[in-house]
Amino acid sequence: MAIISLLTDFGLADTYVGQVKGAMLAIAPAATLVDVTHAVAPQDVFGGAFLLWSAVEAFPPTSIHVAVVDPGVGSARRAIAIRSSRGDHFVGPDNGLLMPAVERLGGTELAVELTEPRYWRPNPSSTFHGRDIFGPVAAHLANGVSLDQLGRRITDVAWLELPAPNGLEGEVIHVDAYGNLITNISARDLPERFQVRLRERVMASGTHYAAVSRGELIALVGSAGLLEISAREASAAEITGVTRGTPIKVVKVERV
| One domain for residues 190 and 149 | no
| One domain for residues 225 and 106 | no
Whole-model pTM over 0.85: yes
- List the one residue out of 95, 120, 104 whose CA is nearest residue 43: 95
Give the end-to-end CA distance of the chain in Å, rounded to a whole number.
Answer: 56
| One domain for residues 211 and 131 | no
If you ran DSSP here, which 8-state letter would residue 132 be given? I
- pLDDT tens for each residue of 232-243: 999 999 999 999
| One domain for residues 144 and 28 | yes
pLDDT band at 104 (very low <50, low <70, confident <90, very high): very high
Average pLDDT, the chain: 95
The answer to whether 150 and 139 are in contact (CB under 8 A) is: no
Question: From CA 35, how far away is CA 104, in angstroms rounded?
Answer: 20
Q: Range of 55's domain? A: 3-153
| One domain for residues 173 and 147 | no
Question: Is residue 255's pLDDT more than 80?
Answer: no
Question: From CA 222, how far away is CA 208, in angstroms rounded?
Answer: 9
- pLDDT tens for each residue of 155-194: 999 999 999 999 999 999 999 999 999 999 999 999 988 9
Select from 121, 153, 185 the last residue of a domain. Answer: 153
Q: How many domains does the chain have?
A: 2
Question: Is residue 204's pLDDT more than 90?
Answer: no
| One domain for residues 111 and 191 | no
Question: Is residue 256's pLDDT more than 70?
Answer: no
Give the pLDDT score at 22: 98
Query: Beta strand 169-175 with 181-186: parallel, antiparallel or unpaired?
Result: antiparallel
| One domain for residues 91 and 187 | no
**For residues 201-213, average pLDDT:** 86
Q: What percent of the chain has pLDDT over 90?
A: 91
- pLDDT tens for each residue of 16-31: 999 999 999 999 999 9
Strand order in the sheet with 108-114: 32-37, 3-8, 64-68, 89-93, 79-84, 108-114, 151-153
Question: From CA 223, how far away is CA 116, in angstroms rounded?
Answer: 39
| One domain for residues 129 and 11 | yes
| One domain for residues 57 and 85 | yes
In a domain, 161, yes or no: no
In a domain, 70, yes or no: yes
